[in-house]
Structure 1
Amino acid sequence: MKTKKLNIANLNNSRVAKNILKGILTIALTVSAVSCDETDEPNFDPQPDGIALNERFLDNRNNELQEFTLDAATGGVIVGNDGTEVTFPPNAFGINGTPVTGNVIIQLIEIYDKAAMVLKNRSTLGKKANGDKEALKSAGQFFIDAKQGTNELELLEMAEVQSRPVDFSDLDGGMKIFRTECDSLENNCDEIDGEGDWVEADEDNNGEQDDAQIKDGQGADGEYATYNYNIGTFGWTNLDRWYSYTGPKTEIYVDVPEGYNADNCAVYLSYDGEPTALARMDVWNTTLEMFTEHYGLIPVGQEVHIIVVTEIDDELHYAIQGTTVVEDHIEVVTSLSPTTQPALEAMINALP
């Protein structure tokens, strides 16, 4: 059995410390001295609320949902607030394989930064064909859907997605297309069960993973480039490449305060130096009562920030801790603090 190494500054309110103390202390209780009226009083302190947290995630996605109207027969182009463009050919929308006519409503969500990933619960954890999981570096996540009245529409022709403009110095030629089983707007992507994992996509069903194409552009501010790719179905897509660290790797554990668990809070691992590499700690170890990950591919020596979020009495609470990963790492989070969502977004996007 491996010995877990603590990487901590303070063990107050830590489950690790409590378990250690339980093992070395024996408390003598004299039953005859305790009356029925001296039983433990119930704990009325505010508790983390997982239902409210998931509602916040869903509200954040709904609040960022943009809608556009197109004529189904002619198709057209929509442009999102962050610069994402989606081009639909004529007669691309249908029901049960039959093209529809008239106006259709196109829905779009764009996610380009870590704060949006955390607060919309859309991390960049990928699953390979052999089941191994590893962090992804993202160039953008997109939800694209179409409706006509109460009818959900299907995509009959390939549509083209173009990312927001990218500086040439920031281009990454290894970007590919990923999909997720968590493909609806309402699904809260239970990454504890793997539903939110991103997998390599084959949009044109040719048996090969789809690469993003880089195209040059010219705008008012000069030359730029974009990532371009095609989609064959509606839902979530992600522009990514594997983090692919070649050095030694390890598992990492996060010890959260007493009363916190996978049902009432979310824990994320933010990679320093990587603006869009964010993995959710997707395993709750019931024996250790800690969050961890079952892929064991965290780079030793990597500087990271642990992000913990929950909802308590309709107020967002958080903890952000920076650390350098050591072998068999245990990070202890002793408490969370109240904050507003704009303040937390600013803190997350200011991380290195």
Structure 2
Amino acid sequence: MKTLATIKLFAVASLLFINISCKKEQETMRFAAPNAANFQSLRNKALHDLTQNKTFKAEDGVVFTSTKGTTVTIHASCLEDSEGNPITGEVQLSFVEIYDKGNMVVTNKPVMGRNQDGDLLPLVTGGEFDIRITQGNKILKPRCSYNVTVPANLTGDLDYGMILWQGNINADGNLEWDNGDNAGGQEQGLRADEKTNSYNIWNGQFGWTNVDRFYSHTGPKTQIKVVVPNAYNNENSAVYLAYEDQPNLLAQLDTYNQAEKFFSEHYGFVPVGIKLHVIFTSESNGSIAYAIKEVTIADNSVININESELNTASQSQLVALINALN
């Protein structure tokens, strides 16, 4: 009898152990392991969804007005191929415009610019744009300057501190901004027009362009760390910073420490005492996985993102959530 009771007790204990183990496994497996290719596909889709297209004849030029009211003027007979040959016939304009931090996150197009020392620092944007013109499989270039007129009310009041920036995708696949002379000999620039309440751009190259200035903060700054769950890294996830009361600023933590599982940056640009939202994004089974955490920055802050804080959302849902942040 004693042996039978012992066997029954062991059986019950085994069932309890299995049940608890299953529950723990369910908790830890709430999200599928992130996949870097799927994460990039989500970003590519978000960018594709923002792309506007227009077909026109190169010899006629075009004045294209975007869904947000920005106008792009390509002058007549002002396109050439990579060998400098003038282009005639039908061509296709592709145009992307981003003014809000929600769409910056889902497309991975933050506003981080290089200063004179080469440091990558947060910018305040009046709009970022990608302009491309093709004819078949040929990528075309401008033979003369083209123009872009951006309504200032898309990002607030007219800001006379704004200048023109050119964007480059770096080796890690992140967009960086440079205000140096990258126009290949073509004239480029920006003027804030009080009469039309707009930014008037003239430029001699296609690709990513930005209306921006550096974010200014006179107080102390610090370098922060954002620790992420074990399965995540800089190939299958990203960390952004949305500053309080700065709707047109999205910073990115662009370095990752594999040993200690944290994101950071090189330069210690985060203001001490500021309130901000840490935005973590990844993917799970082809859907967006994310966490948004409000923090007040102290010197050398370490912020932990736990797997229990992760949620899933559609692209439009995450954009709305981020744009609703103060």
TM-score, normalized by the shorter chain, greater than 0.5: yes
**SS of residue in 1 equivalent to 2:197:** strand
SS, match of residue 244 in structure 1 = coil
Q: Please name the residue that 2:293 is paired with.
A: 321
Judge conservation of contact 2:46–2:315 (CA < 8 Å) in 1.
no
How many angstroms does 1:288 deviate by? 2.5
Q: 1:54 to 1:168 in 2, by over 3 A?
A: closer
Q: Distance in 1 between matches of 2:52 and 2:244?
A: 31
Letter in 1 for 2:148: V
The structure 2 residue matched to 1:347, chosen from 311, 321, 326, is 321
1:98 paired residue among 85, 90, 110: 85
Q: Tell me how far apart the structure 2 counterparts of residues 347 and 196 of structure 1 sit (CA, whole Å).
A: 23
Paired residue for 1:198, among 167, 174, 177?
Answer: 177
Asked if the contact 1:175/1:211 (under 8 Å) is kept, the reply is: no
Deviation at 1:258, TM superposition (A): 2.2
Match of 1:298 among 248, 253, 270: 270
- Name the stretch that deviates more: 300-309 or 98-107: 98-107
Is 2:70 the partner of 1:84? yes
Q: Select the structure with the greater relative contact order (CA < 8 A; seq sep ≥ 6).
A: 1
For the residue of structure 2 that corresponds to 1:166, the secondary structure is helix
The residue identity in structure 2 corresponding to 1:97 is G
Structure 2 residue 226 is matched with structure 1 residue 247: no
Q: CA shift at 1:196, angstroms?
A: 2.0
Are 1:255 and 1:290, in contact at CA under 8 Å, matched by a contact in 2? yes
Equivalent positions of 1:240-319 (< 5 A) are 240-319=212-291
- Contact conserved, 1:74 with 1:91, CA < 8 A, in 2? yes
CA contact (8 A) 1:180 1:195 kept: no
| Residue matched to 2:11 | none
Identity of aligned residues (%): 34
* 1:276 positional shift: 1.2
Closer/same/farther in 2, CA of residues 169 and 267 from structure 1, 3 Å limit: closer
Q: What residue is the counterpart of 1:174 in the other structure?
A: 161
**Aligned-pair RMSD on alpha carbons?**
2.4
Alignment of 1:221-236 (within 5 A): 225-236=197-208
* Whole-angstrom distance in 1 between the partners of 2:233 and 2:94: 34
Return the alpha-carbon distance in structure 2 between the equivalents of residues 114 and 70 of structure 1: 31
C-alpha distance after superposition, 1:20-70 (max 9, x if no partner): xxxxxxxxxxxxxxxxxxxxxxx8932122211111101111222111122
Where 2:175 maps in the other structure, the secondary structure is coil
Query: Where does the alignment leave 5 or more consecutive residues of structure 2 unmatched?
Result: 1-24
- Looking at structure 2, the residues matched to 296 and 72 of structure 1 have their Cα atoms a distance apart, in angstroms, of 47
User: Counterparts of 1:346 and 1:57 in 2: how far apart (Å)?
Assistant: 16
Q: Which amino acid aligns with 2:202?
A: N
Letter in 2 for 1:254: V
Quote the residue 1:185 is aligned against: none
**Counterpart of 1:115?**
102
Q: For structure 1, which runs of at least 5 residues remain unmatched after alignment?
A: 1-42, 183-188, 218-223
TM-superposition CA deviations, 1:76-116 (whole Å, max 9, x none) = 21111111111111211111222111121111001010111
User: Which has more helix, going by share of residues?
Assistant: 2
The residue aligned with 1:337 is: 311
Q: What is the TM-score of this pair, normalised by structure 1?
A: 0.79
User: What residue is the counterpart of 2:120 in the other structure?
Assistant: 133
Q: 1:165 Cα shift?
A: 4.6
- Residue 150 of structure 1: CA displacement? 2.0
Give the Cα–Cα distance (whole angstroms) in 2 for the partners of residues 338 and 271 of structure 1.
23
- The verdict on how the C-alpha distance between 1:173 and 1:206 changes in structure 2, with shifts beyond 3 A counting, is farther
Amino acid at match of 1:100: I
Shift of the 135–82 alpha-carbon distance from structure 1 to 2, 3 Å rule, reads same
Post-superposition, which runs of at least 4 consecutive aligned residues in structure 1 deviate over 4 A? Answer: 203-208
Return the alpha-carbon distance in structure 1 between the equivalents of residues 155 and 106 of structure 2.
29
Q: Kindly tell me the number of residue pairs found equivalent between the two proteins.
A: 297
